[in-house]
Structure 1
């Protein structure tokens, strides 16, 4: 399944380390600008990262992770990145097995991928 905006790019809602310049350079080969947005019905939690490369790249051994609450008052703020299908695959490789990619509708109405807790 693709979450495309019609131009061949995929929308990915990021709320954590995929917003960091060094992570973007390593993962995508370049910086990716995005637009501010929010996701309702989720809250941020934290998880330990055991993947040494991911921890070294982000500089953190604990990363944020989304947990679904279904409470519309809960909101997570982040950015929507427009990625090619290959860049989205690279993001899948970066985000370790603690996460799974899910399709969501953001507060703006944009349908996007997001990494949530498995």
Structure 2
């Protein structure tokens, strides 16, 4: 018995914030939205394809997302270009501890969810 891999991760946004979240995740981050199963479509939120994994964007009120260190780390090419792109869209880059062998930065989405952009060096 063993875990085979990670199928998806979920983040949350406030109820009713799907339009703004799609602008950030689908337009700015350029992640494709994938269809949720019909049985889950009435629950709010949406799903994204990230490489061979999924990110499920659910809805949840009463959560202080800025109080958490929990995050998703997106592996990218040209982390410097990503940093500039996000800053051009008003996303503040946060200070992060260096990790040997990687270029990286952290930020928060418009709803307070922390995320990381990371690129292996060499």
Shared fold, TM over 0.5: no
Q: Which has the larger radius of gyration?
A: 2
TM-score by length of 2: 0.28
Scaled by the length of structure 1, the TM-score of the pair is 0.28
